Amino acid sequence: MEHQASNAARNGQAARQRRWAAARGWIGSMLDYNDSLIYATAASLIVLFSPMAIPTLPSRFRSR
């Protein structure tokens, strides 16, 4: 009886660790996605409002 109880406790602990690992992985992925989104948005705004910052842009995008 005690052996079964200790196995159940270990299985419960292992399941809890798997849930925590999955939650931490999801949170890390969401932080990485948001970081990439913010970086891409900032980069596009820099190009939009300061076209002279990138000299390779076609002349029609440069300010006069």
> Which element (helix H / strand E) includes 34?
helix 2-49
**42 in Cβ contact with 35 (< 8 Å):** no
- Tracing tokens 């990138």 back to the chain, one arrives at 54
Q: Write down the pLDDT at residue 18.
A: 92
**Model pLDDT for residues 15-63, shown as the tens digit of each residue:** 899 999 999 999 999 999 999 999 999 888 887 777 666 666 566 665 5
- Tracing tokens 């002279």 back to the chain, one arrives at 52
Q: Write down the pLDDT at residue 23.
A: 96
Q: Which amino acid makes up residue 30?
A: M
Q: Write down the pLDDT at residue 35.
A: 94
